[in-house]
């Protein structure tokens, strides 16, 4: 296995371990239950989905306006 591949796998492992430690610390230190963590995770996924959706609509409107105005210049 090459050094680059080992570094890649090590980075992935450390990232997953850090996330697991963060979740454990939140549950232990702040007394959060598994259900509360699940609700927070789903709320976060929903918020990210809304932001991505709004960005897609904005980009679509931007491209649509550019095409509309570009066609108008050609006439």
Question: Do 50 and 68 fall into the same domain?
Answer: yes
Q: Do 8 and 27 share a domain, yes or no?
A: yes
User: Which range of residues forms the domain containing residue 72?
Assistant: 33-75
**Residue 74: predicted pLDDT:** 56
Q: How many domains does the chain have?
A: 2
Q: Do 40 and 20 share a structural domain?
A: no
Do 56 and 50 touch, CB atoms closer than 8 A?
Answer: no
- Residue 17 half-sphere exposure toward CB, CA atoms < 13 A: 6
Same domain, 37 and 71: yes
State whether 14 and 39 are in the same domain.
Answer: no
pLDDT in tens, the chain (75 residues): 888 899 999 999 999 999 999 989 988 898 889 899 899 999 999 999 999 999 999 999 999 999 988 876 555
Backbone angle region of 69, left / alpha / beta, with phi > 0 → left and psi within -120 to 50 → alpha? alpha
Radius of gyration, CA atoms only, the chain: 22
Residues 53 and 75 in one domain: yes
Q: Can you give the pTM of this predicted structure?
A: 0.62
Whether residue 60 sits in one domain with residue 40: yes
Same domain, 10 and 38: no
């Amino acid at each position: 296995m090459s050094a680059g591949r080992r570094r890649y796998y090590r980075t992935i492992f450390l990232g997953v371990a850090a996330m697991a430690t963060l979740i454990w610390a939140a549950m232990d230190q702040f007394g959060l239950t598994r259900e509360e963590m699940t609700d927070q995770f789903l709320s976060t996924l929903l918020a990210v989905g809304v932001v991505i959706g709004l960005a897609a609509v904005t980009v679509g409107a931007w491209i649509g306006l550019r095409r509309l105005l570009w066609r108008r210049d050609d006439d």
